[in-house]
Structure 1
Amino acid sequence: MSGTTLTAIVSIVMLGATLSFGMTRAVAADDVTEDQIIKALAPAKKPLTRGLSVGPQSDPAPSAAETQFVSSIRGRATRSLTTSEREEIATIAKAKPNIDLEITFDYNSANISQKSVRSVQALGRALTNPDLKGSTFIVAGHTDAAGSDNYNQDLSERRADAVKRYLVDNFHIASPDLVTVGYGKTKLKDPSQPMAEANRRVQVVNMENKATASK
């Protein structure tokens, strides 16, 4: 890994996202606000209709299979997730709301840098807002292409765990509501530049609305 800090992007993935969990513009750490995060993460409200509706409906309700799967991974340890479960998480994540936040980690470390604490705090306030509180969120760690597969897998998991630990300790978010997963270098945000800092990120995915969450 290069540089004194490693940049990560916290992203909650929205409808139409690509296999890399979305290509939305990152919001600078100093610019992001709690309100911006809430607006980006809140599920789209379904329009009230009478009679037949024409055209696709946004934000469809999750299937029974999806709800059951999300329930099955709540409370799981990061390293307990299988490869197939990680891929299923990535597939479901393509249809969820998203925002990109720049967060930095100390070099070769899972320690959140001091300059990024305010962004993580804004995220914590947003996730405890009544509009989002109680949903299940995936905290997914990613690295760039430098280093071995095993090294990067471990680092991505530790970074995801670090973000979760901060949110649980400082904002008292229920631990089962934050499911951590690591992808190492398998899902680069910018495959054309595998060493780019944009690939070194943590994504947070809103997996389901609190009204449908299985507690």
Structure 2
Amino acid sequence: MIEQLKAPRTRSLRNLSVEAVSAQTDAASAGTPGRPSLSLLIQFDFNSARVRPESQQALANLSQALQSAELGASRFAVEGHTDAKGSVDYNLKLSQQRAQAVRDFLKTQGVNEARLVATGKGSAELANAAEPFAAENRRVRIVNLD
């Protein structure tokens, strides 16, 4: 996972398991073409930015990776995404709150907050455009900015 965030390679790391919707270099994403990224299916309570307990271990594992020697100096965007339910304005606000909640969680795990930029994308960049209300569209994406 560290290698995937650092450079577009496919080598995996033992002992750091983050359940990912996709861990890849995402060239199709507007604003971050060709940057290594990791899309996480982080669960939130309905209509809420509170990270559910079942997602906390994945975020704890991610925080370990972000504090590793290989990634310790890198900066990351924490992008919140929603599905297409709700208004554009509401989804932007909710996705920002969710990105901030993940950033705050990572901070409590020891990741320097100055290295994390929380951004809400709303439903503008659907992971599954063919099914705009699909669960995989409700995600948090971690993008290496360096």
Normalising by the smaller structure, the TM-score range is: 0.7 to 0.9
1:41 partner amino acid: L
* Contact 2:6-2:71 at 8 Å conserved across structures: yes
For structure 2, the residue ranges without an aligned partner over 5 or more in a row are 10-28
Q: CA deviation at 1:96?
A: 1.1
Match of 2:93 in 1: 154
1:201 partner amino acid: R
Match of 1:43 in 2: 7
- Flag as ranges the 4+ runs of structure 1 deviating above 6 A: none
Q: CA deviation at 1:191?
A: 1.0
Choose between structure 1 and 2 for higher RCO, CA contacts under 8 A separated by at least 6 residues: 1
Give 3-state SS (helix, strand or coil) of 1:98's partner.
strand
Q: CA deviation at 1:184?
A: 0.7
Larger-gyration structure (1/2)? 1
Deviations 1:164-207 (A, max 9, x none): 00111222x22221011111111111111010011111111001
2:42 partner amino acid: I
How far apart, CA to CA, are the structure 1 residues paired with 2:8 and 2:130?
Answer: 32
Give 3-state SS (helix, strand or coil) of 1:154's partner.
helix
Q: CA deviation at 1:44?
A: 5.4
Q: CA deviation at 1:158?
A: 0.2
Q: CA deviation at 1:103?
A: 1.6
Give 3-state SS (helix, strand or coil) of 2:37's partner.
coil
What RMSD over aligned residues (CA atoms) do the two structures have, in Å? 1.7
Q: CA deviation at 1:160?
A: 0.2
For structure 1, the residue ranges without an aligned partner over 5 or more in a row are 1-36, 46-88, 209-215
Match of 2:43 in 1: 104
Give 3-state SS (helix, strand or coil) of 1:99's partner.
strand
* Contact 2:38-2:143 at 8 Å conserved across structures: no
Match of 2:107 in 1: 168
Q: 1:139 is matched with which residue: 78, 96, 99?
A: 78
The two structures have a TM-score, normalised by structure 1, of 0.56
